């Protein structure tokens, strides 16, 4: 009976740690919603974070979006050409980029670049006790460090998603023009005819949720990182892993909700 008791006790400890972690996340998110509408507002820090998250991500987002549109078009052409339906390529690419690829690709790139950056930055501040020093000095480190970053990611990711869609459609146009010799005007007329309001709403909804998730996960992991340099590495690593996992789960749920409204 002894070994079984130890196994059961170990399992109970793991389950209790999971529930404790969920409770801490719940308190963290509730505090975030409580602080975001309270003055004073850290506008300068929010603008700086939007610059760090949005503007500095443009080169990587531009390259990724262009390649996504170009490659997706080349991969889709053989299947459509079998049915003589290559004229549907602009509409297909438009629907795919707006509904799914643009927000998902942007969020995955941002979770790797921005999520790890936020987790490592706040984790190093926690390790060097800068957060404790801010609390002792009478300032509100949670509002300055966490709220500003979460708001910045929630604002920046939708903007970057529209930019990714635009760059991806340009990359797709180059592939279409190369093979079908379609003009720029005809291509984009077909692109905009294929999408509707609910497609734009789907992109915005996904991007806002993804941006909020990246900000919350990165800030939570960094703000509650363990002491030491190893804790900083774990915070950055878990910020990426957890945000990517949650993004795929949210993608699945949002797609089901959007389909219910169609």
User: What is the pLDDT, as a whole number, of residue 239?
Assistant: 87
pTM for this entry: 0.89
107 pLDDT exceeds 70? Answer: yes
Chain mean pLDDT for the chain: 86
User: What is the pLDDT, as a whole number, of residue 87?
Assistant: 77
Same domain, 91 and 12: no
Same domain, 141 and 242: yes
Same domain, 162 and 238: yes
7 pLDDT exceeds 60? Answer: no
pLDDT tens-digit series, residues 39-61: 878 889 899 999 988 888 899 99
User: What is the pLDDT, as a whole number, of residue 125?
Assistant: 86
Rounded-to-integer distance, Cα 88 and Cα 241, Å: 37
Q: Poorest-confidence range of 69-78, 223-232, 249-258? A: 223-232
Same domain, 122 and 184: yes
Same domain, 10 and 113: no
pLDDT tens-digit series, residues 127-164: 888 888 887 887 788 888 889 999 999 999 999 999 99
Same domain, 146 and 227: yes
* CA triple 60-62-63, angle to 5 deg: 70
Helices (H), the chain: 2-36, 43-53, 58-81, 89-96, 102-110, 116-127, 130-136, 141, 148-180, 184-194, 197-223, 229-261
Same domain, 11 and 104: no
User: What is the pLDDT, as a whole number, of residue 10?
Assistant: 64
Same domain, 112 and 14: no
Same domain, 195 and 218: yes
Question: Which residues have C-beta within 8 Å of that of residue 187, sequence separation ≥ 6?
Answer: 90, 173, 176, 177
User: What is the pLDDT, as a whole number, of residue 6?
Assistant: 47
Same domain, 9 and 61: no
Q: Domain limits at 9? A: 1-38
What is the rounded average pLDDT of the residues 194-221? 92
201 pLDDT exceeds 50? Answer: yes
Q: What does the block give as tokens for 86? A: 């290559």
Most confident of 8-12, 39-43, 214-218, 256-260: 214-218
Number of domains the chain contains: 2
User: What is the pLDDT, as a whole number, of residue 8?
Assistant: 57
In the block, tokens 């760090």 appear at 52
Residue 248 half-sphere exposure, CB side, CA atoms within 13 Å? 5
* CB neighbours of residue 227 within 10 Å: 12
Same domain, 13 and 128: no
């Amino acid at each position: 009976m002894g070994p079984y008791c130890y196994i059961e006790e170990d399992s109970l400890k793991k389950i209790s740690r999971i529930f404790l972690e969920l409770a801490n996340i719940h308190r963290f998110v509730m505090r975030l919603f409580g602080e975001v509408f309270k003055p004073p507002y850290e506008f300068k820090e929010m603008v700086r974070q939007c610059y760090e998250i949005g503007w500095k991500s443009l080169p990587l987002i531009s390259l990724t979006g262009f390649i996504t549109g170009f490659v997706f078009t080349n991969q889709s052409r053989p299947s459509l050409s079998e049915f003589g339906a290559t004229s549907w390529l602009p509409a297909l690419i438009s629907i795919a980029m707006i509904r799914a690829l643009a927000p998902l690709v942007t969020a995955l790139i941002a979770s790797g670049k921005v999520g790890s950056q936020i987790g490592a930055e706040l984790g190093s501040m926690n390790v060097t006790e800068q957060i404790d020093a801010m609390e002792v000095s009478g300032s509100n480190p949670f509002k300055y460090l966490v709220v500003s970053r979460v708001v910045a990611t929630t604002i920046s990711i939708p903007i970057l998603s529209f930019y990714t869609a635009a760059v991806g459609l340009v990359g797709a146009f180059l592939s279409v023009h190369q093979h079908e010799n379609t003009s720029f005007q005809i291509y984009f007329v077909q692109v905009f005819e294929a999408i509707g309001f609910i497609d734009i709403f789907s992109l915005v909804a996904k991007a806002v949720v993804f941006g909020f998730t990246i900000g919350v996960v990165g800030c939570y992991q960094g703000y509650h990182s363990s002491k030491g340099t190893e804790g900083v590495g774990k915070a950055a690593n878990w910020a990426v892993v957890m945000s990517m996992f949650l993004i795929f789960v949210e993608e699945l749920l949002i797609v089901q909700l959007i389909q219910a409204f169609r």
